Amino acid sequence: MASNEIQYNDIIKHIITNSLFTERQIYVLYNKFSRRSPPDRISKGAYYRQLKQSEQKVVGVLYSLIILRYLNMIDTGTFHTIEVILDNTSHLMERIKRDTISQNDSRNVISLLDEIIQKLIHQK
């Protein structure tokens, strides 16, 4: 992310809402990844506790993907689809930063994202 800040918008908020993470946990993880010091508005104890919990969730997500793949509940095509979604989301976020995407387009993206994820879940 070029601005070194999370650019919250309808799409990002929707993704976070449907993820295993809270906005605060995403913020804490992003803050660490950006190599920034803990913010003043959060006590260091609370910050590091949230960081540890968030990192444990990331580990859990990765192990979950591994076991789902091992059990053939997720195939390699699913991982490819997820990679395409990630690439398209990155390009879309750049357009949003430049204000070249409408609110209607954002709603369409959210709807399409939900539809793709539902198809991935119910593909077998």
Please tell me whether residue 46 adopts helix, strand or coil conformation.
helix
* Residue 57 in tokens: 């969730």
* Rounded-to-10 torsion of CA 49, 52, 54, 59: -160
78-91: per-residue pLDDT in tens? Answer: 888 888 888 888 87
6-32: per-residue pLDDT in tens? Answer: 777 888 899 999 999 999 999 999 999
